[in-house]
A and B are shown apart, each in its own frame.
Chain A
Amino acid sequence: MTATAAERQATPSGGLVVEDLEVSLTSRPVDVVDDIDLVLHPGEVVGLVGESGSGKTTVGTSLLGYSRAGALISAGKVLLEGRDVLKLPWKEVRQLRGEEIAYVPQDPASALNPSIRIGKQIVELMELRGIGTSESRRQGARDGLAEVGLPNDDEFLKRYAHQLSGGQVQRVALAMAFLPKPKVLVLDEPTTGLDVTTQKMVLDTMAELCRAYGVSALYVTHDLAVVANIADRVAVMYAGQIVEVGPKETIFAHPSHPYTRALLDSIPHLSQARALRGIPGRTPAPGARPDGCRFNDRCSFAVDECRREAPALRTIAPDHEVRCIRVEEIGVWDINRGTVPDADPDRQRDVILSLEGLNVFYGRKHVVHDVNLDLAKGEVVALVGESGSGKTTISRSVGGLHKDWTGIVNFEGRELAKSARGRGAEDRRRMQYIFQNPYLSLNPRLTVEQIIRRPMELFGLAKGKPATDRVVELMEQVALGPGMLYYEANRLSGGERQRVAIARALAAEPDVMICDEITSALDVSVQGSIVALLEDLRKQRGISMLFVTHNLALVRSIAARVEILQAGRVVESGPVVSVMETPREEYTRKLLANSPSIG
Chain B
Amino acid sequence: MTHVATLQDPLEEVAPPRGRSGAAAWTIWLLRRLGLALLTLWLVSVLVFLATAALGDPVRAILGRDYNSNPGRVAQLEAQLNADQGLVSRYFSWLGGLLTGDPGTSLANQQSVWDQISDSVVNTLVLVFLSSLVMIPVAFGIAMISANYRRRRPDTWIQTVLLALAGIPEFVIGILLVFVFSTSVFHIFPAVTIVSPTGGPPWESAKGMVLPIACLVLAVVPYVSRIVRASLLEVLDSDYVELARLKGIPEPVVMRKHALLNAIVPGIQVIALQLAWLAGGVVLVETLFAYPGVGRQLVDSVRNHDVPMVQALAMIIAAFYIVVNLVADIISILLTPRARTAISS
Contacts and interface: CB of A to CB of B under 8 A. Distances in A.
B90 interface: no
Contacts of B247: 97-98, 102-103, 124-125, 176
Contact of B257 (A116, A146, A149): A116
Nearest to A61: B246
Contacts of B249: 94, 98, 124-125, 128
Nearest to A91: B250
A107 B257 CA distance: 21
A195 B11 CA distance: 10
Contact of B2 (A99, A152, A168, A176): A152
Interface string B231-269: 000000011101111111110010001100110000000
B84 interface: no
Given A150-B6, A198-B9, A111 B240 contact: yes
B331 interface: no
A163 B341 CA distance: 9
B4 A94 contact: no
B248 A98 contact: yes
A132 interface: no
Contacts, number: 118
Interface in A72-126: 94-99, 102-103, 105-107, 110-116, 124-125
B257 A103 contact: no
A95 B261 contact: no
B338 A114 contact: yes
Contacts of A160: 337-338, 341
A413 to B, nearest CB: 38
Contacts of B206: none
A158 B239 contact: no
A162 B239 contact: no
Contacts of A198: 9, 11-12
B185 interface: no
Nearest to B14: A165
Contacts of B258: 113, 116
B155 to A, nearest CB: 13
A153 B257 CA distance: 25
Nearest to B15: A163
A153 B238 CA distance: 29
Contacts of A168: 12, 14
A567 interface: yes
Contacts of B99: none
A66 interface: yes
B72 interface: no
Contacts of A155: 16-17
Contacts of B239: 105-107, 110-111
Contacts of B5: 149-150, 201
Contacts of A201: 5, 9
Contacts of A176: 247
B167 to A, nearest CB: 30
Nearest to B19: A155
Given A160-B337, A567-B10, A66 B16 contact: no
Q: Sort chain A's interface into a size bin.
A: 35 or more
B17 A66 contact: no
A103 B9 contact: no
Nearest to A567: B10
Nearest to B265: A115
Contact of B248 (A99, A111, A146): A99
A105 B243 CA distance: 7
B336 interface: yes
Interface in A46-80: 61, 64, 66, 68
A111 B14 CA distance: 19
Nearest to B150: A69
A280 interface: no
Contacts of A105: 239, 242-243, 246
B88 interface: no
B28 interface: no
A339 B13 CA distance: 40
Nearest to B336: A115
Interface in B328-345: 335-338, 341
A94 B9 contact: no
Interface in B1-35: 1-2, 4-6, 9-17
Interface string A186-210: 0000000001011001000000000
A394 to B, nearest CB: 17
Interface string B94-111: 000000000000000000
Contact of A386 (B6, B11, B242, B261): B11
Given A128-B249, A155-B17, A111 B243 contact: yes
Nearest to B6: A151
A114 B240 contact: yes
B257 A97 contact: no
Contacts of B4: 146, 149-152
B92 to A, nearest CB: 43
A164 to B, nearest CB: 6
A146 B5 CA distance: 9
Contacts of B14: 163-165, 168
Contact of B338 (A97, A149, A162): A162
A95 B15 CA distance: 37
A164 B16 CA distance: 9
A422 interface: no
- B242, B261, B335 — most chain A CB neighbours (10 Å): B242
5 contacts: A94-B250, A113-B261, A151-B6, A163-B16, A567-B10
Given A115-B261, A115-B335, A201-B9, 18 more contacts: A61-B246, A66-B245, A66-B246, A97-B248, A98-B247, A98-B249, A113-B258, A113-B261, A149-B5, A160-B338, A162-B341, A163-B15, A165-B11, A165-B13, A167-B9, A168-B14, A173-B243, A197-B9
Interface of A: 61, 64, 66, 68, 94-99, 102-103, 105-107, 110-116, 124-125, 128, 146, 149-153, 155, 158-160, 162-165, 167-168, 173, 176, 195, 197-198, 201, 386-388, 567
Interface of B: 1-2, 4-6, 9-17, 238-240, 242-250, 253, 257-258, 261-262, 335-338, 341
Q: Can you list the 6 inter-chain pairs with the closest CB atoms, starting with the nearest? A: A97-B248, A149-B5, A98-B248, A103-B246, A110-B239, A160-B337
